[in-house]
Amino acid sequence: MASLLFLTLFALALRCTATLGIPASDATVDVKAFNVANITTTLPGVLIQPVVSEHNTISLPLHAFLIEHTTSKKRFMFDLGMRTDPLNLAPSVSSFFQSGVYSVNAPFKGITELLEEGGIPLESIETVIWSHSHFDHISDMSLWPNTTNLVIGPGTNRSLYPEFPDSALQASDFAGHDVIELNFNNTNITFGGLPAIDYFGDGSFYLLNTPGHLIGHITGLARVTPSTYNQSSTFIVLGADTSHHPGQLRPRPKFQATYPCPAHLLTQSRTSVSTDYFWSPGSDVGVFDVLSREQPLLSIPDLPNSGDADPVTNRVSLDKIADFDANNDFFVILAHDESLIDVLPYFPASLSTWKEDGIKDKVLWGFLDEKNPAFRFGPSA
Ligand SMILES: [Zn+2]
């Protein structure tokens, strides 16, 4: 009897062991991903540094996520990708498409069309959450029914063109929708140093305050498997634009300890990574050593025209997201991670079984493979 009581207490203690401060819960959501479009910019240096001379553009997939609460079946979106008619963006943004600084693989189907074609009526989606208000995440809200609510991060700049000529937003981005602005001052939950809001109040989905890229930038944290007495939950972290390339997130020492670099990439990267641009204590000229690299290969630019509104703050947000990335119960997905596009199972497939399916292990180090579209550390193979 005493041993049974001990076992029960031990199991309860295990259940309460919080990963990165996240309490156990049986409540989950299901996550499905779309890659809406790929945009290319001729100014990679505002997003990442250094820029190796052979890689003077960067291609950015635009990921959007359909999320469904497992028990209530409530649906919502986290990010939408971009609208199909970029010339109808506010002039401060459409001018980049006119000048060719941005280009898109036109024509493409917008998220509303992709959802409807996939048998997901827009009316069935209760809410759209913008990770932040940049054009490549907000699509065209005028295509959504008025019953769809819009959730935005704290302090999001809601000034509109034409009243504010430089504004990236216009009236149609909000018209007809109930807009809910998050307030992290009302929460005392913190995970891995990031303030969190429990979206459904049951631990299935959280929004994390990750400022820096833009005022009001938020990250999604989806619990995709329940906690059991002997197993912790698994999560998907929707990291949006906390970084624009997986090489800004990886590798870091904690990450390398959990996920050792595959042997073939250790060997390949010795000569594929240019030591004119990248260095580490174990490197020699012409021979790069990734094992002794103690910081990510790419950094967040600190230039006056940086793609991040506040690079210093964004680095802190990214440092915190990196702790999730180094934990084998969390799968961090960046909105523009080009290394995912050939590997990630897209809608209608679910990402919720990512751990048992080994998806994270397949994608983590992909950016370092010279055959991967995200490789930009030396001349490609
Ligand atoms: Zn973006």
Nearest to 372 by CA among 333, 344, 331: 344
**Average of per-residue pLDDT across 333-348:** 97
pLDDT at 243 over 80: yes
Considering the domain boundaries, does residue 114 fall inside one?
yes
Considering the domain boundaries, does residue 351 fall inside one?
yes
**Percentage of the chain surpassing pLDDT 70?**
95
Considering the domain boundaries, does residue 374 fall inside one?
no
Dist. CA 317–CA 95, nearest whole Å? 30
How far is ligand 1, taken at its centre, from the CA of residue 24, in Å?
Answer: 32
- List alpha helices for 259-326, DSSP H: 263-272, 311-325
Residue 91 CB burial class (10 angstroms; 0-12, 13-18, ≥19): middle
Q: What pLDDT does 15 receive? A: 44
* DSSP character string of 118-147: TT--GGGEEEEE-SS--HHHH--GGGS-TT
Considering the domain boundaries, does residue 155 fall inside one?
yes
Please give the residue range of the domain that contains residue 363: 28-368
Dihedrals phi, psi of 277, to nearest 5 degrees = -110, -25
Q: What pLDDT does 17 receive? A: 45
How far is ligand 1, taken at its centre, from the CA of residue 268, in Å?
Answer: 30
Q: What is the CATH number of the domain that holds 177?
A: 3.60.15.10
Q: What pLDDT does 97 receive? A: 97
How far is ligand 1, taken at its centre, from the CA of residue 71, in Å?
Answer: 31
**Average of per-residue pLDDT across 310-339:** 97
Number of domains in the chain: 1
Q: What pLDDT does 361 receive? A: 97
Q: What is the pLDDT of residues 219-230, one digit of tens each?
A: 999 999 999 998
Considering the domain boundaries, does residue 373 fall inside one?
no
How far is ligand 1, taken at its centre, from the CA of residue 11, in Å?
Answer: 42
Considering the domain boundaries, does residue 292 fall inside one?
yes
How far is ligand 1, taken at its centre, from the CA of residue 314, in Å?
Answer: 14
How far is ligand 1, taken at its centre, from the CA of residue 49, in Å?
Answer: 17
Q: Facing residues of 196 across strands?
A: 189, 208
Q: What is the pLDDT of residues 70-120, one digit of tens each?
A: 999 999 999 999 999 999 999 999 999 999 999 998 799 999 999 999 999
Q: What is the pLDDT of residues 4-41, one digit of tens each?
A: 555 554 444 444 446 899 999 999 999 999 999 999 99
How far is ligand 1, taken at its centre, from the CA of residue 113, in Å?
Answer: 20
Q: What pLDDT does 11 receive? A: 47
How far is ligand 1, taken at its centre, from the CA of residue 278, in Å?
Answer: 26
Considering the domain boundaries, does residue 142 fall inside one?
yes
How far is ligand 1, taken at its centre, from the CA of residue 241, in Å?
Answer: 5
Dist. CA 155–CA 242, nearest whole Å? 17
Considering the domain boundaries, does residue 344 fall inside one?
yes
Whole-angstrom CA distances from 69 to 30, 203, 213, 365 are: 6, 11, 28, 31
Q: What is the pLDDT of residues 265-307, one digit of tens each?
A: 999 999 999 999 999 999 999 999 999 999 999 999 998 889 9
pLDDT at 342 over 80: yes
How far is ligand 1, taken at its centre, from the CA of residue 254, in Å?
Answer: 26
How far is ligand 1, taken at its centre, from the CA of residue 288, in Å?
Answer: 31
Measured at the CA of 63, the angle between CA 67 and CA 110, to 5 degrees, comes to: 90
How far is ligand 1, taken at its centre, from the CA of residue 131, in Å?
Answer: 9
* Strand segments (E) across 321-370: 330-334
Measured at the CA of 168, the angle between CA 165 and CA 170, to 5 degrees, comes to: 80
How far is ligand 1, taken at its centre, from the CA of residue 226, in Å?
Answer: 30
How far is ligand 1, taken at its centre, from the CA of residue 344, in Å?
Answer: 18
Beta carbons of 75 and 67 less than 8 angstroms apart: yes
